[in-house]
């Protein structure tokens, strides 16, 4: 196969090109894996509660930033009855990890965290339970103690929700979480369960009308409406696109070099009757082969990047995925084909404009 | 009726102030073999390139079988359907084996892979290169490359064969052998052949000789 021979003819150059493509693809894959995973796991957490309506402070970019005053919660409870579960969530900065997720949940919800060992913390106490990922990272067992918020807390139990985001964090009784996070008298979001599902729409309208400081949403729409995720998504996508065009330049440059070395040969092929498309097809095979090698290397690199991030203290435990989903991998192949095609545009226009006589005279 | 008519053909290259061809006219019968001779720079290659529709004349026209070359469709279609070309320096595509090089014109015609392979091997056998079919060009001798170039020009059984100093840098006996091979095959196919050459011994084997100097014909045609 001519395109394989052409690629092997300049091994070093081909390797550099494959790496150039791989970097762009790796960043794309890592970014997509992280953002998708973050949304997926957040959604899982919310879905786990089986809530019909999620209420947060108006204009909050994310549940972490949302504030609901306790008087509003009381009013909400009075309006809806006892189906309102307040949640406190925040991040603690500790010297063993700069991003520890702390979840404060009401007593009624504590048993929902699948306990692996020990027991749930008692209400009103200062104890906590921690997720398996965190327990593993810190080498902690039930009964141990964990430095938290300037003091230290007893770990009563270790839970596993099967969700890396939550399993990398700490769960406490709501009052204790408020104290640790300095959020006394306020919560982040409220989850509302309705017995009669037909009323959901009307209730959402009523809540939004009665509480101008709150924003009620059907739970199904909640994660898609987290503004922070959209901002992160936009930002990371921009970074990925810039890297993608960097990769395009690398591959384009290689194809241009290959074309210029072989201009006379292109002239020969045109002289024996090849139309430009046949020449471009040959370059396309080269471009696709290089880029697909880049895709394989890039996915490998992405896993390394994710593992590195996951191990780094600065980003917290658990929320970085360490595997790549089949959908993300397939998506990266799509991006790869796009890369191979875009990189070909410039070389292809040169082929189209090439005069066979000039090509044959080329040194 | 002549098969090939070259009528008042002129060519001026953009960055050159004299005409490379100055209104050349001649015609050829089907199956005729003509040698174009003349000193280097007299316009032989220019003439052949125009007949192959590799380049466009400044003025004048070329008729093949009564039709202007432009009427055969895009240039590459005309080249693919009508012409076989043997280049001066037996140009081969370096990333393709001899068999792939010889089969290249068939790719342009959309011939399938197996058929391409079969015909390429057959034509390589015809020029005594069956055993070199899967060699890359840089691994065979100049003479072998040139014979492969002849096989490539003949593989489509073209009506017109153009050879631009095909024996240019071969020693004379090897050159003559290649040329005889080409003539034998062309006679078999009834191809019309134009060969540009310095070599008078080779020119003498043609049916007719056309002499050129400074872009003009100087012998009666
Ligand atoms: N692509 C070109 N651009 C400019 N001048 C050219 C080009 N090709 C040929 N010439 C000029 O045209 C003249 C005829 O050249 P050519 O047809 O190659 O002659 P020959 O093949 O008989 O040696 C020469 O003066 C040559 O320098
Ligand atoms: Mg010449």
Q: Which atom of ligand 1 is nearest to the CA of B15?
A: 4
The winner for highest mean pLDDT among A213-227, B80-94, B105-119 is B105-119
Token pair for A325: 């989903």
Distance B48 CA to ligand 2 centre (A): 9
Q: Which of the listed residues B12, B14, B16, B163 should we mutate to test ligand 1's pocket, taking the one with most ligand atoms within 8 A of CB?
A: B16
For CA atoms B19, B64, A272, B167, the dihedral sign is negative
What are the tokens at B84? 């076989």
- Which residues in chain A have their CB less than 8 angstroms from residue B120's CB? none
CA distance B46 to chain A (A): 9
What residues 274-333 of chain A have any CB closer than 8 A to a CB of chain B? 274-276, 278
* Cβ within 8 Å, pair B79-A273: yes
Give the residue from chain B lying closest to A10, CA to CA: B95
Instruction: Kindly list the residues from chain B whose CB atom is less than 8 angstroms away from the CB atom of residue A357.
Output: 49, 54-55
Q: In what order do the strands lie in the sheet with B21-28?
A: B21-28, B4-11, B59-64, B67-68
Residues of A in contact with B49 (CB under 8 A): 357
**Mean of all residue pLDDT scores within chain A:** 89
pLDDT digits (tens, 9 = 90+) for B183-215: 887 888 889 999 998 888 888 889 999 999 999
In this complex, is the C-beta atom of A345 within 8 Å of any C-beta atom belonging to chain B?
A: no
| Ligand 1 cavity residues, CB under 6 Å | A 357, 361; B 13, 15-16, 20, 40-46
pLDDT digits (tens, 9 = 90+) for A293-314: 999 999 999 999 998 888 776 6
CB proximity A363 to B under 8 Å:
no
A261 touches chain B (CB under 8 A): no
The beta-carbon neighbor of A357 closest among B55, B79, B83 is B55
Looking at ligand 1, which residue's alpha carbon is closest to its atom 12?
B20
The reply to whether residue B80 touches residue A272, judged by beta carbons under 8 angstroms, is yes
Q: Nearest C-alpha to atom 20 of ligand 1 is from which residue?
A: B41
Whether residue A269 is predicted with pLDDT greater than 90 in this model: the reply is: yes
Is residue B28 predicted with pLDDT exceeding 90? Answer: yes
The ligand 1 atom nearest the CA atom of A358: 1
Residue (of B113, B100, B200) closest to B151 by Cα position:
B100
With a pLDDT cut of 90, the percent of chain A lying above it is: 52
CA separation (Å) from A42 to A77, A116, A229?
Answer: 25, 22, 10
Q: Whose atoms come closest to the Cα of B41: which ligand?
A: 1
Contact A274 B76 (CB under 8 A): yes
**In sequence order, what are the beta bridge partners of A218?**
A53
* Ligand 1 mean position, distance from CA B2 (Å): 28
pLDDT tens-digit map of B105-129: 999 999 999 999 999 999 999 888 9
- The complex's ipTM? 0.93
Better pLDDT: B171 or A261 = A261
Counted across chains A and B, CB pairs separated by less than 8 A come out at 71
Could you give the angle at the alpha carbon of B101 between the alpha carbons of B95 and B107, nearest 5°?
A: 110
Per DSSP bridges, beta strands A115-118 and A145-148 are unpaired
- pLDDT, tens digit (0-9, with 9 covering 90-100), for A28-69: 999 889 888 888 888 887 777 788 899 999 888 888 889 999
Please state the atom number of ligand 1 nearest to the C-alpha of residue B212: 22
- Statement: residue B221 has pLDDT above 60: no
Asked if B100 lies within 8 A of A2 by C-beta distance, the reply is: yes
CB contact under 8 A, B95 and A357: no
Q: What is the pLDDT of residues A109-125, one digit of tens each?
A: 887 888 899 998 988 88
CA-based end-to-end distance of chain B = 16
Q: What angle do CA B192, B198, B200 make, to 5 degrees?
A: 80
Neighbours of A126 (CB within 10 A): 18
Residue with the smallest CA separation from ligand 1 atom 24 is B41
Predicted confidence (pLDDT) at residue B90 exceeds the cutoff of 70 = no
Query: How far does residue B65's CA lie from ligand 2's centre (Å)?
Result: 26
Give CA–CA dist A86/A73, Å, rounded. Answer: 8
pLDDT attached to residue A317: 63
Domains and CATH numbers, chain B: 4-217 (3.40.50.300)
Would you place residue A95 in the very low, low, confident or very high pLDDT band (cuts 50, 70, 90)?
A: confident
Note the pLDDT of residue B185.
Answer: 79
């Amino acid at each position: 196969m001519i395109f394989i021979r052409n690629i092997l003819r300049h091994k070093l150059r081909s390797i550099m090109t494959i790496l150039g493509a791989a970097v762009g693809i790796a960043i794309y894959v890592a970014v997509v894996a992280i953002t998708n995973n973050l949304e997926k796991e957040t959604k899982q957490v919310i879905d786990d509660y089986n809530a019909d309506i999620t209420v947060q402070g108006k204009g909050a970019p994310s549940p972490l930033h949302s504030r609901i005053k306790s008087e509003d919660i009381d009013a909400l409870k009075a309006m809806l009855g006892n189906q309102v579960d307040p949640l406190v969530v925040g991040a603690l900065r500790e010297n063993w990890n700069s991003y520890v997720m702390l979840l404060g949940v009401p007593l009624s919800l504590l048993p929902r965290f699948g306990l692996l060992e020990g027991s749930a913390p008692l209400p009103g106490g200062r104890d906590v339970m921690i997720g398996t990922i965190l327990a593993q990272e810190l080498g902690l067992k039930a009964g141990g103690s964990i430095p938290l918020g300037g003091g230290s807390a007893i770990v009563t139990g270790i839970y596993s929700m099967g969700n890396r985001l939550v399993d990398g964090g700490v769960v406490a009784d709501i009052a204790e979480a408020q104290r640790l996070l300095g959020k006394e008298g306020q919560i982040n979001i409220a989850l509302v369960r309705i017995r009669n599902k037909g009323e959901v729409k009307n209730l959402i309208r009523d809540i939004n009308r009665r509480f101008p400081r709150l924003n009620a949403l059907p739970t199904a729409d909640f994660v898609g409406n987290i503004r922070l995720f959209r901002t992160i998504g936009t930002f990371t996508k921009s970074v990925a696109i810039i890297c993608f065009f960097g990769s395009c330049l690398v591959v384009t440059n290689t194809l241009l070099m290959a074309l210029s070395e072989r201009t006379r040969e292109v002239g020969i092929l045109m002289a024996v009757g090849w139309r430009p498309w046949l020449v471009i097809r040959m370059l396309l095979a080269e471009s696709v082969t290089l880029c697909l090698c880049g895709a394989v290397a890039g996915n490998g690199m992405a896993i390394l990047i994710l593992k590195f991030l996951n191990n780094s203290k600065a980003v917290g435990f658990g929320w970085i995925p360490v595997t790549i989903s089949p959908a993300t991998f397939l998506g990266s192949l799509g991006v790869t084909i796009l890369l191979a095609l875009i990189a070909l545009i410039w070389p292809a226009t040169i082929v189209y404009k090439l005069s066979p006589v000039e090509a044959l005279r080329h040194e | 009726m002549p098969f090939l008519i070259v009528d008042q053909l002129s060519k001026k290259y953009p960055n050159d102030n004299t005409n490379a061809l100055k209104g050349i006219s001649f015609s050829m019968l089907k199956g005729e073999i003509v040698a174009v001779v003349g000193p280097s720079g007299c316009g032989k290659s220019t003439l052949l390139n125009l007949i192959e529709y590799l380049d466009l004349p400044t003025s004048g026209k070329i008729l093949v079988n009564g039709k202007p070359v432009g009427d055969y469709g895009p240039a590459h279609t005309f080249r693919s359907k009508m012409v076989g070309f043997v280049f001066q320096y037996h140009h081969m595509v370096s990333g393709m084996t001899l068999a792939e090089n010889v089969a290249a014109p068939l790719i342009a015609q959309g011939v399938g892979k197996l058929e391409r392979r079969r015909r390429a091997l057959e034509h390589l056998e015809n020029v005594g290169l069956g055993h070199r079919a899967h060699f890359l060009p840089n691994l065979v001798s100049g003479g072998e490359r040139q014979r492969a170039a002849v096989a490539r020009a003949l593989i489509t059984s073209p009506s017109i064969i153009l050879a631009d100093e095909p024996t240019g840098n071969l020693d004379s006996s090897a050159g003559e052998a290649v040329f005889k091979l080409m003539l034998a095959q062309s006679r078999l196919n009834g191809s019309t052949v134009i060969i540009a050459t310095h070599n008078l011994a080779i020119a003498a084997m043609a049916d007719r000789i056309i002499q050129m100097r400074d872009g003009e014909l100087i012998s009666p045609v």
